[in-house]
Amino acid sequence: MDLKTLTFIVVGATFALYFFIAIRSRASSTGEFYVAGKGVPPVLNGMATAADWMSAASFISMAGLIAFKGYDASVYLMGWTGGYVLLAMLLAPYLRKYGKYTVPEFIGDRYYSQTARITAVICLIVASLTYVIGQMKGIGVAFSRFLEVDFATGLYAGMAIVFVYAVLGGMKGVTYTQIAQYCVLIFAYTVPAIFISLHLTGNPIPQIGLGSTLSDGSGMYVLDKLDKVLTDLGFGAYTAQKGSTINMFLLTLSLMIGTAGLPHVIMRFFTVPKVKDARSSTGWALVFIAILYTTAPAVGAMARLNLMHTIQPEPGKWLKYEDRPSWFKNWEKTGLLKFEDKNGDGRIQYVADKKTNEMVKVDRDIMVLANPEIANLPNWVIALVAAGGIAAALSTAAGLLLAISSAISHDLMKGVFMPDLTEKGELLAGRIAMAGAIIVAGYLGLNPPGFAAQVVALAFGLAASSIFPALMLGIFHKRANRTGAVVGMLSGLGITLIYIFWFKGWFFIKGTAMAPNTPDHWFLGISPEAFGAVGALVNFVVASVISNMTEPPPEHIQHLVEDIRVPAGAGAPVDH
């Protein structure tokens, strides 16, 4: 059977499974739509959180960035896992104790102010929408390859499917579908990694294979070989640091704080039965995430090694363009891989020097999907990876759209503007909001401001600078008050957004950037992706100073804070 038919069958089968589960567990009330009626056990909730969390950025994009950036891409590995430590210790148990549905709801109550609630809604929408743009890029890449069409067409197909899928389900459907999606995506990620590790090193465990010697008889370690191949061609060594230390430090911090501040992840911990479960559920989520995250470095390094070896089978001897393998041709069709025969010798020269390099475009986001083909793995593995990538993108897009729609329908419409809205009306408003978000994100996904993982990193910066500090101060600083929280959130979000738009273009529209996006133009060498950490600091400082200068929060709020600090008395959540 040819690859295309096989891919259709595998992707089709997994889709049938997701839709079956989504329809079987269709949400009938708002409670079920948002938080699955709080009946999800911690291990399963952890697994669903892992699927929700690991998006196109983790599955499709991250190993590609690792392949091309080497050590510098460690920021994504540490940043996107370390945030769970913050979440487990600083937020999840307390928010579960409080027991409401949405993040803005907590902020509105804790800071006794509709203004705070609306500010939180704005922060949430800005961060989530940026995140969905990153997913759309990933979905576009996966669909364009799988349908063998150009990137834009692939993106439209992806948008249509996300729409049907997210609008149908709601949280309950999403939770159980996400468990299925986790199984598909982790299987799809680890199987090729095991194959490749076994083939290159003789060790089936990729985490160990990456630290082993090659089985080609040279006795060289994988990483040493990679360092040598790359430095011989003028690239930086794989294991060496290339960017600045301050940027690595702040980007990691920004991703960690952002992880703990992203509403669609926080929402997951409203769905466990007890405070105790919120703590362990975070741990389980990280276990399931760590399986992929510790495999990714092996996938990246080995993919890069295989890619270099395909293009340069022997030192000094380059691959003839007409002999290029079929994966090369297929990716050329999507426009994400481009060759230009600069010296006219019909061979593909791939070197660091831009003047003589003939691989003029290698989109980082294609590496994971192309990886099994580059390594000559069987067709069913390639089909599986396509299904896994799509599962990752879909599950996260659905979770984010849910967070956006609940913020608009529950917090904004019902909570602020139309308190007498019926449940039915609320569900309808939520679905309309989802559709709107998909269209905006799809439009921006066509011209994304970076690779999927980088766009997602921006979203984390925005969440880090706005939502996390407000939540944390709300729990740990009794004195934090309304004025401090609102001004803090707005200044954190504002300064981060302006910094990002300054280098990436206003509202990510091409050609409107105020300065070139290069290290020598950045403030103190801090990249837009890493600026969220600075934004978070501004938020913390502004909120604390203003809170101390203005009147303390009323008595009942101080009692509320004392109450959420102890698990006792956490019953069923307050109903609406």
CB of 132 to another protein, least distance (A): 26
Q: Does 81 bind another protein (CB under 8 A)?
A: yes
Stretch in the footprint of another protein (CB under 8 A) among 49-57, 148-156, 268-276, 310-318: 268-276
What track of x and - describes contact with another protein for positions 184 through 223 (by CB under 8 A)? -----------------------xx-xxxx-------xxx
Q: Please identify, using beta-carbon distances, which residue of 26 and 274 lies nearer to another protein.
A: 274
Q: Please identify, using beta-carbon distances, which residue of 319 and 561 lies nearer to another protein.
A: 561
Q: Does 260 bind another protein (CB under 8 A)?
A: no
Q: Does 566 bind another protein (CB under 8 A)?
A: yes
Taking the alpha carbons of 444, 53, 116, 404 in that order, is the dihedral positive or negative? positive
Q: How many residues interact with another protein (rule CB under 8 A)?
A: 50
Q: Please identify, using beta-carbon distances, which residue of 143 and 288 lies nearer to another protein.
A: 288
Q: Does 280 bind another protein (CB under 8 A)?
A: yes
CB of 452 to another protein, least distance (A): 20
Distance in angstroms (rounded) separating the CA atoms of residues 256 and 137: 22
Residues in Cβ contact with 54 at an 8 Å cutoff, skipping those fewer than 6 apart: 182, 185, 289, 292, 392, 395, 396
Stretch in the footprint of another protein (CB under 8 A) among 74-82, 338-346, 393-401, 406-414: 74-82
- Select the residue interacting with another protein from 49, 282, 310, 312 (CB under 8 A): 282
Residues in Cβ contact with 436 at an 8 Å cutoff, skipping those fewer than 6 apart: none
Q: Please identify, using beta-carbon distances, which residue of 217 and 569 lies nearer to another protein.
A: 569
Q: Please identify, using beta-carbon distances, which residue of 253 and 404 lies nearer to another protein.
A: 253
3-state secondary structure of 320: strand
Stretch in the footprint of another protein (CB under 8 A) among 89-97, 123-131, 338-346, 521-529: 89-97
Q: What's the burial of 340, exposed, middle or buried (CB within 10 Å: 0-12/13-18/19+)?
A: exposed
218-257 residues near another protein, rule: CB under 8 A:
221-224, 239, 241, 245, 248-249, 252-253
Q: Does 93 bind another protein (CB under 8 A)?
A: yes
Q: Does 78 bind another protein (CB under 8 A)?
A: yes
Give 83's Cβ-side CA count (13 Å radius).
30
Distance in angstroms (rounded) separating the CA atoms of residues 527 and 487: 25
Distance in angstroms (rounded) separating the CA atoms of residues 57 and 460: 12
Which residue has 């994009």 as its token pair?
61
Q: Of 127, 363, 444, whose CA–CA distance to 254 is shortest?
A: 127
Q: Of 272, 422, 256, 331, whose CA–CA distance to 64 is shortest?
A: 331
CB of 182 to another protein, least distance (A): 16
- Select the residue interacting with another protein from 15, 37, 38, 74 (CB under 8 A): 74
- Select the residue interacting with another protein from 419, 569, 572, 575 (CB under 8 A): 569
Q: Count the neighbouring beta carbons within 10 Å of the beta carbon of residue 354.
A: 7
Q: Count the neighbouring beta carbons within 10 Å of the beta carbon of residue 116.
A: 25
Contact between residue 131 and residue 403 where contact means Cβ atoms under 8 Å apart: no
Q: Does 293 bind another protein (CB under 8 A)?
A: yes
Q: Please identify, using beta-carbon distances, which residue of 8 and 221 lies nearer to another protein.
A: 221
b/e 298-333 (16+ beta carbons within 10 angstroms → b): bbbbbbbbbbbbbbbeeeeebbeeeeeeebbebbee
CB of 215 to another protein, least distance (A): 13
Q: Residue 73: what residue type? A: A
Contact between residue 78 and residue 385 where contact means Cβ atoms under 8 Å apart: no
Q: Does 84 bind another protein (CB under 8 A)?
A: yes
Q: Please identify, using beta-carbon distances, which residue of 242 and 329 lies nearer to another protein.
A: 242
Which residue has 């102010």 as its token pair?
113
- Select the residue interacting with another protein from 113, 153, 231, 294 (CB under 8 A): 294
Binding site for another protein (CB under 8 A): 66, 71, 74, 77-78, 81-82, 84-85, 88-90, 93, 207-208, 210-213, 221-224, 239, 241, 245, 248-249, 252-253, 274-276, 279-280, 282-283, 286-287, 290, 293-294, 297, 562, 565-570
